[in-house]
Structure 1
Amino acid sequence: MFKNIAIISKNDDNSVKDSLDTVINYLDKKKIKYFLDNNSSILLNDKPSTNIEEMKSKCDIAFIIGGDGTLLRSAQYLSKANIPICGINRGRLGFLVDISPDHIEENLESILSDNYSVDERISLIGKVIRNGKEISKNISFNDVVIHSKDAVRMIEMDTVLNGKKLYTVNADGLVVSTPTGSTAYSLSCGGPILQPSMEALVMVPICPHLLSNRPIVIGMNSVIEIKLSDKSQTNASVTFDGQINVPIEANDTIKITKGKITLKLIQPPGINFLSILREKLGWGFKP
Structure 2
Amino acid sequence: MTKDEQTRLAPHPVLPDYYGKAEDRRTRVDEMFDSSAEHYDWITDVMSFGSGRMYRRQALLRAGIKAGDKVLDVGAGTGVVSWLAQQIVGEEGLVVALDPSKGMLSQAVKLGVEHTSMGLGEALPFPDDTFDYLTMGFALRHVADLGAAFAEYQRVLKPGGKILLLEITRPEGKIATAFLKFYLKIIIPNLAKIFRRSADSKVLMRYYWDTIEQCVPPATIVEALKATGLEQSKRAVVLSIFSEYTGIKPARV
TM-score where L is the length of structure 2: 0.32
Structure number with higher helix proportion: 2
Structure number with higher strand proportion: 1
TM-score where L is the length of structure 1: 0.29
